[in-house]
Structure formats: structure tokens, C-alpha cells
Amino acid sequence: MVSNHLGYSDYLTITQDQVNRFADATGDHQWIHIDVERAKAGPFGGPIAHGYLTLSLGPVLLPQIFGVEGVAMGINYGTNKVRFTSPVPVGSKLRAGVKLLSVEDVTGGVQVTLETTFEVEDSKKPSCVAEVVFRYYL
């Protein structure tokens, strides 16, 4: 099953409230994210989601695509090769696609690496591509 595409999540609408709350949580109040009027005149034609907000939606979207049963615990182990390749406009719909890259034995469990692609509906280019690494312990 390694290197197989596992599927896509449902679309999730990105709201200005989400972006504002993420800005407050991280302290990243750059105008392209939170100043709606200024962002309308900016390079993206409106406010955009933070790249790390996009990436942080993995725990919402990925369980729609795959699950692991029969384990005592699963943890986020890390992220490799993260790229934010196109903006996610506020009001757009975002989904994730997942490809299984590897499953490796580790002490007490397995390590799973997934290529995760975040896509804005009707966009030709992905918004974020990352290798997400999980560990599942028995």
C-alpha cells in the first residue's frame, strides 16, 4: 500500500474569524491576513490565511481520509519538506489529499509518513505540500 493515494477530505471554508483567531494565537498580525481593506488593494486581492494555519488544519482534515485502529496512542512526530506554494484566500474552500509514502517499524510501534497536499477548490496549484510524520504506539 506504500505510495498509494488514500483520498481527499471534504472541503472546509476558510473564514476571516479563523484567520483572526490564528493571528491572535500566534502573534502574526501581518496585514495580508487581518487588515481586510488594505489586503483588498494588496497583491492577493483580499486577505489570505497564514501558511501555518493551512498546515495546522491537518488534524481536522486528515481523519476524514484515514484512520489507525488498535493502537494505544498516536502522535504528530514532525513535518518534512513543507512548502506554501499558493495563497489560501479568506472565503475559499480548502481540502487535503493524502498519499502514503512509508510505514516503518519503530520501538513500540510504527512511523507513518504521508505526503499531504492542501488544495483550494478550483485552483490549479496546491496551497501547501508537506510530508507529515505520525507515530503510532501499540
Residue 1 has pLDDT above 90, yes or no: no
Neighbours of 33 (CB within 10 A): 20
Residue 42 has pLDDT above 80, yes or no: yes
- Measure the CA–CA gap between 15 and 89, rounded to whole angstroms: 9
pLDDT above 70 coverage of the chain, percent: 98
Closest CA to 114 of 135, 94, 131, 138: 131
DSSP string, 51-86: HHHHHHTHHHHGGGT----S-SEEEEEEEEEEEE-S
Q: What is the CATH number of the domain that holds 94?
A: 3.10.129.10
- Measure the CA–CA gap between 112 and 16, rounded to whole angstroms: 33
Q: State pTM to two decimals.
A: 0.92
User: Which of the four pLDDT bands, split at 50, 70 and 90, describes residue 3?
Assistant: low
Residue 71 has pLDDT above 60, yes or no: yes
For residues 22-44, give the mean pLDDT: 98
Closest CA to 89 of 138, 41, 127, 129: 127
Q: Which domain holds residue 22?
A: 5-137
Place of cell 510504527: 110
User: Which of the four pLDDT bands, split at 50, 70 and 90, describes residue 105?
Assistant: very high
Domain count, the chain: 1
